[in-house]
Chains A and B, each alone.
Chain A
Amino acid sequence: MTDPATPLLDWLIAALLVAGSLFALIGSIGLAKFGDFYRRLHGPTKATTLGVGGVLLASALFFSRLSGAVSLHELLVTAFLFVTAPVSAQMLVKAALQDDPAAPKKRGDATLSPKG
Chain B
Amino acid sequence: MSPLLLGAANLAIGILAVALLLCLVRLVRGPSVLDRILALDTLYVDTIALLVVVGIRFAEPAFFDGALLIALLGFVSTVALAKYQLRGDIVD
Query: In the complex, what distance in Å separates the CA atom of A25 from the CA atom of B36?
Result: 18
B9-51 with Cβ < 8 A to chain A: 9, 11-13, 15-16, 18-20, 22-23, 25-26, 32, 34-35, 37-39, 41-42, 45-46, 48-49
Nearest A residue to B61, CB-CB = A63
Q: Which residues of chain B are near A103, meaning CB under 8 Å?
A: none
Given A44-B45, A55-B12 in contact, is the A27-B19 Cβ separation under 8 Å? yes
Q: Is the CB of A88 within 8 A of B79?
A: yes
Q: Is the CB of A56 within 8 A of B2?
A: no
Question: Is A96 in the interface zone, CB < 8 Å from B?
Answer: yes
By secondary structure, the B interface counts as helix
Q: Is the CB of A51 within 8 A of B49?
A: yes
Query: In the complex, what distance in Å separates the CA atom of A52 from the CA atom of B56?
Result: 14
Question: Which of B3, B12, B25, B86 has most A Cβ within 10 Å?
Answer: B12
Query: In the complex, what distance in Å separates the CA atom of A6 from the CA atom of B61?
Result: 22
Question: Which of B3, B55, B75, B82 has most A Cβ within 10 Å?
Answer: B82
A4-61 with Cβ < 8 A to chain B: 5-7, 10-11, 13-15, 17-18, 20-22, 24-25, 27-29, 31-32, 37, 40-41, 43-44, 48-49, 51-52, 55-56, 58-59
Q: Is the CB of A25 within 8 A of B9?
A: no
Query: In the complex, what distance in Å separates the CA atom of A73 from the CA atom of B62?
Result: 12
Given A20-B49, A52-B49, A81-B48 in contact, is the A95-B56 Cβ separation under 8 Å? no
Q: Is the CB of B45 within 8 A of A52?
A: yes
Nearest A residue to B19, CB-CB = A28
Q: Which residues of chain A are near B12, meaning CB under 8 Å?
A: 17-18, 20-21, 55
Q: Is the CB of A3 within 8 A of B15?
A: no
Question: Is B91 in the interface zone, CB < 8 Å from A?
Answer: no
Q: Is the CB of B48 within 8 A of A77?
A: yes
